[in-house]
Amino acid sequence: MKILVTGGAGFIGNHLSNKLKKLGHEVLIVDFSKKLIQKPNLSNDFDFYGFNLSEYKNFNKLPKDIDVIYHIAAQTSGYTGLIDPDKDIDWNIKGTLNICRFAKENKIKKIIYTSSMSVYGNGDFKKETDKVNPISHYGISKFCGELYLKQYKEYSIDYTIFRLFNVYGFGQDLENLDQGMVSIYLAQSLKSDTIEVKGSLNRYRNFIYIDDVVNALILGLDNKTKNQTYNICTNTKTTVKELLDSIFKAHNKTFKIKNIGQYEGDQNGCTGNNEKLKKLNWKPLVELEEGIKLFYKSIVKK
C-alpha cells in the first residue's frame, strides 16, 4: 500500500514509518522538518514533504493516489497548549480537519489517528466506552480530531482511533522539556544532579514503550479495526516517584528532586484499560524498568 505518515520525522512517526517500510509498504512523510529523522538508526530514506498541515493549500504538493493516512502529527504538550493554545488549534484541530478534507477529495480509504489519553481527563483504567472529560486545551483539541474522523465516515472514509498513553523510548526529543514525562526527567538526569518536577510525586500514568506502540499502530491496517477506538497502554499504574526510581536505577545513582509546582490542566492521574486491543492478539512486552534502561543505554552509547 501507499501510506502517508504525517509527523513521520518525529519520535513515534519515524519508528512507525520504518516499520511500515520493512513490511513492504511505500511510505511518504509529511512534517515540518527532518530534525528527528536524522538521528542514528532512524531512517531518512523516505519521500519527504515539508509543510504546515494547518494550511490546506499546502496539500497540493502531495500525490493523490494514497491508500491510507496515518495522522500522527500534532502539538503534543499539555503545557504548550496551555501557554500557546493557538498551536493546538492550528496543528491539532485545523491540521486534522485538513487531513479529512484531503482524504475526501482524493477518495482515500482510511485514516488512522493517534489521539491521546488526555481526552479522558483524570480517572483509573478508563475504557474506550467511558465518557471523555478533557481538562486541558490539548485534550480538547485531540478529541476534536476524533469527532472530525467520525464525521467524515459519512463520506466513506474509514478510521481507526488509537488513544495513546505515555509513550517513551529511543528517538524521543530530549531537548523538549515540555513534552514526554520520561524524556523530560531522563534529559535532566543527564545534565544535573537535581530533577525538577511539576506537581506531586504521587501523580500517576501508564507508561508504554515505543516498540509496543508501533506494534499496536500497525494493527490499524487490519480490517478488524475499521471504525474502532483503542487504548494503547499498559495495565500498570505508575507514580511519578516510581518513574524517577526507575531512572535512578538506570544511572545506578540517586538525584535530588525539586518540586516546581503543578500547571493548570495537568492530569493528576490517568490510566487505561487495554483489554479491547488485547483481543487483537496484541500485548505490551516491555516493562517500564527494562524500557528505561534501553532508552538510557541508547543515549549514553553515543
Report how far residue 210's alpha carbon sits from residue 223's, in angstroms, rounded to the nearest whole number: 23
List Cα–Cα distances, 4 to 26, 72, 186, 256, 287, in angstroms. 9, 10, 31, 44, 31
Q: Which amino acid, residue 232? A: I
138 labelled catalytic: yes
Contacts of 291 (CB under 8 A, 6+ apart): 168, 169, 207, 209
Phi, psi values for residue 160, rounded to 5°: -135, 130
User: Catalytic one among 113, 120, 138, 204?
Assistant: 138
Q: Which residues of 35-59 are buried (b: 16+ CB within 10 A; e: fewer)?
A: ebbebeebeeebeebeeebbeeebb
Burial class (CB in 10 A: 0-12, 13-18, 19+), 86: exposed
Contacts of 207 (CB under 8 A, 6+ apart): 165, 166, 168, 181, 182, 234, 236, 238, 243, 288, 291
Q: Which residues are catalytic?
A: 138
